[in-house]
């Protein structure tokens, strides 16, 4: 179990461009800010920035992502030149990138790199060989049947334990397999057709490929039936079931777990968290009941899908045709260099990350961000002390937790050493396998050891931020410490509305419906009085109802339960940022700038962070899987609950941006 709550759907690092914290040209002044503030703040930007053909969603997050990716490209292009003066790190990332970029060589090899792995799968004669094959694929990074790794013990946050979770499906979420609406039925049909085409690319006849695709889908359907739904998975108590290996074996006796753990070089397991035990029973039933040839087909398909980027172009194009065009509405596959940059960032994140930090992270930005964090933490303390719905007993514990929050800004300092990973300029498939095996071994080696609190769960170029409830810390990678989130040339109002709201958002996550269940030490423990827990839940239900009323696309609404944590953090975070801004101003009223008051600029700075638009396919996908609300709802849903906004823009009760009664937890 690993519960990270982030600012946005993870974006990891077009051409570099100038950014500003506030852009007057992004406004749509024909819109009424009290009718639709998002349109007022972002309408101009949306009109001037159509979705690029290689994107399904385009917003200011994505613009910064592309800016960071261009920086990474320049780093990798320089490192990929085979010069004797390169450092060890430059040689690692440069050779990995060079191998990935050689599409002609990849095409010439065909599926030869897959041969040994395919032969191993096809050599299975019975279920007794299954564990060995699954272990081999797991070491290579193929995601089959389940997810296994290390995690903090939710009830002893000082220790790392083994963690076994559901997985093994190719559609985004379990409910995709069961929804009966026409679009969902059609999507499943297209998915099966996609699986069949992948088998045809391997040389399977059309008729045989169709049968194999049906078999893969049947196995995935059974895995999905045994899986926990995405909303229930947000409850940490529903994904914590600590047991022994012996108890696991009784749940799934037909898979040799001891052999799997030995084959993945897992240290001796004293305690194991099985996120959802019914899933293991469902997996065991599949192993017993499924035809061995069908299991082979399932393993082959997932191996090919997971390695498609390092296979000939026709595999890449087919993979994109379903996952990019059909599922997300993206019109064109991203350029090879972009995909290779992302692969290096995913496989060697610390090697590339330290070069990115050298290029971009300034001490002034880190120092200023820390000052903002300090001010917003003080605002939260004042807010907690004044809360009228929380009793002194719970309030005392909340303050202890707040004062225990650690801050990580910019990047880590103890970088991972990849010298044991063999990287070759002419073996992209092998590079990926060896990097995956190294990372799996590194993570599993943590089992049974104390938690290393210096670790980060995002690489430095990532345009995101997150709160970790099990470590009780907030994390701001270097990638997000740039305009439009932080601009050292912008006034306080804009910076507090942008990066200040981000900081407040992450801090509030410690006290949302998930975070509030963990104490100051990161342990899953109930520290609330029954009275206060009920008061929280009643207030939180206001957000559930509010956001469930928003339409994502067509007949699909925002899921107010899935997005509750993020919506709570958005609302609380902006309120904290505003309180901190007022404290910084010290009673002074700065003159208007660009025709806007300080309060107006604060709210505009916040809103313009979320300027974005998406394809209909992406909207539908995100509404079902993403715990974040769409950008428009993140803006309008928050400001309509804030009297300070209504005063700043002279909104009146009865107008859409004046919600009455307002929703508020923090």
Catalogue the active-site residues. Answer: 506, 570
Distances (CA, A) of 363 to 237, 384, 459, 485, 496: 40, 32, 18, 17, 19
Element (DSSP H or E) covering residue 476: strand 473-477
Dist. CA 273–CA 267, nearest whole Å:
15
CA distance 289 to 279: 15
**Pairing mode, strands 156-166 and 146-153:** antiparallel
Interacting residues of 450 by C-beta distance below 8 A, sequence separation 6+: 158, 159, 160
User: CA–CA separation, 422 vs 28, rounded Å?
Assistant: 54
- The residues that bridge with 152 in the sheet, in sequence order, are 160
Strands 57-59 and 612-614: antiparallel
Phi, psi angle pair for 521, to nearest 5°: -90, 0
Residue 156's region, left for phi above 0, alpha for psi from -120 to 50, else beta, is: beta
What is the C-alpha end-to-end distance of the chain, expressed in Å?
Answer: 27
For residue 361, give the DSSP letter: -
DSSP codes, 17-51:
----S--GGG--TTS-TTT-HHHHHHHHHHHHSPP
Buried b (16+ CB within 10 A) or exposed e, 349-361: bbbbbbbbbeebb
Q: Which residues contact 346 (CB under 8 A, 6 or more apart)?
A: 12
Q: What share of the chain is helix, strand, coil (3-state, %, to 5)?
A: 55, 10, 35
Please say whether the beta carbons of 480 and 12 come within 8 A: no
343, 428 contact by CB (below 8 A) = no
DSSP state of 480: G
């Amino acid at each position: 179990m690993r519960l990270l709550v982030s600012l946005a759907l993870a974006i990891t690092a077009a051409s570099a461009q100038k950014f500003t914290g506030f852009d007057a040209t992004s406004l749509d002044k024909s819109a009424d800010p009290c009718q639709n503030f998002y349109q007022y703040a972002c309408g101009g930007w949306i009109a001037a920035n159509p979705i690029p053909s290689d994107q399904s969603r385009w917003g200011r997050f994505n613009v910064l992502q592309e800016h960071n990716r261009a920086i990474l490209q320049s780093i990798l292009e320089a490192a990929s030149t085979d010069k004797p003066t390169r450092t060890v790190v430059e040689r690692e990332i440069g050779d990995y990138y060079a191998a990935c970029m050689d599409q002609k060589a990849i095409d010439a090899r065909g599926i030869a790199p897959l041969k040994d792995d395919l032969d191993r799968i096809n050599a299975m004669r019975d279920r007794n060989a299954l564990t060995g094959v699954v272990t081999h694929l797991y070491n290579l990074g193929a995601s089959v049947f389940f997810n296994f790794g290390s995690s903090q013990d939710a009830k002893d946050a000082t220790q790392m334990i083994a963690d076994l979770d559901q997985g093994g499906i190719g559609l985004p979420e379990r409910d995709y397999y069961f929804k009966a609406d026409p679009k969902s039925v059609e999507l499943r049909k297209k998915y099966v057709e996609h699986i069949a085409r992948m088998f045809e690319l391997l040389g399977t006849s059309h008729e045989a490929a169709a049968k194999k695709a049906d078999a893969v889908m049947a196995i995935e359907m059974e895995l999905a039936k045994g899986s926990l739904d995405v909303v229930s998975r947000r409850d940490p108590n529903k994904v914590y079931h600590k047991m022994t290996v012996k108890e696991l074996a009784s749940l799934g006796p037909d898979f040799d777990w001891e052999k799997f753990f030995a084959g993945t070089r897992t240290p001796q397991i004293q305690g194991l968290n099985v996120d959802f035990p019914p899933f293991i029973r469902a997996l065991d039933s599949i192993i017993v009941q499924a035809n061995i040839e069908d299991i082979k087909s399932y393993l082959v398909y997932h191996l090919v899908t997971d390695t498609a980027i390092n296979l000939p172009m026709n595999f890449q194009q087919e993979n994109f045709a379903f996952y990019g065009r059909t599922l997300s509405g993206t019109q064109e596959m991203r350029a090879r260099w972009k995909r290779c940059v992302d692969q290096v960032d995913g496989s060697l994140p610390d090697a590339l990350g330290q070069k990115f930090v050298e290029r971009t992270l300034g001490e002034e930005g880190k120092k200023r961000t820390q000052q903002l964090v300090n001010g917003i933490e003080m605002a939260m303390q004042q807010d907690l002390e004044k809360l009228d719905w929380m009793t002194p007993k719970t309030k005392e514990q909340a303050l202890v937790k707040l004062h225990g929050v650690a801050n990580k800004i910019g990047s880590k300092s103890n970088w991972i050493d990849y010298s044991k990973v063999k990287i070759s300029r002419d073996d992209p498939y092998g590079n990926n396998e060896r990097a995956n095996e190294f990372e799996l071994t590194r993570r599993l080696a943590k089992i049974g050891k104390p938690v290393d609190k210096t670790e980060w769960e995002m690489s430095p170029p990532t345009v995101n931020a997150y709160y970790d409830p099990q470590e009780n810390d907030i994390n701001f990678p270097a990638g997000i410490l740039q305009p439009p989130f932080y601009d050292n040339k912008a006034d306080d109002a804009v910076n507090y509305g942008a990066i200040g709201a981000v900081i407040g958002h992450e801090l509030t996550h410690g006290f949302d419906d998930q975070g509030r269940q963990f104490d100051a030490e990161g342990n899953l423990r109930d520290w609330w009085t029954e009275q206060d827990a009920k008061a929280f839940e009643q207030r939180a239900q206001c957000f559930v109802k509010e956001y469930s009323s928003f339409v994502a696309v067509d007949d699909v609404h925002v899921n107010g339960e899935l997005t509750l944590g993020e919506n709570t953090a958005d609302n609380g975070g902006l309120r904290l940022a505003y309180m901190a801004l007022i404290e910084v101003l010290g009673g002074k009223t700065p003159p208007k700038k660009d025709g806007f008051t300080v309060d107006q600029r604060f709210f505009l700075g916040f809103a313009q962070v979320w300027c974005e638009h998406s394809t209909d396919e992406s909207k539908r996908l995100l509404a079902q899987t993403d715990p974040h609300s769409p950008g428009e709802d993140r803006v309008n849903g928050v400001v309509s609950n804030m009297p300070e906004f209504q005063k700043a823009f002279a909104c009146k009760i009865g107008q859409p941006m004046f919600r009455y009664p307002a929703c508020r937890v923090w």
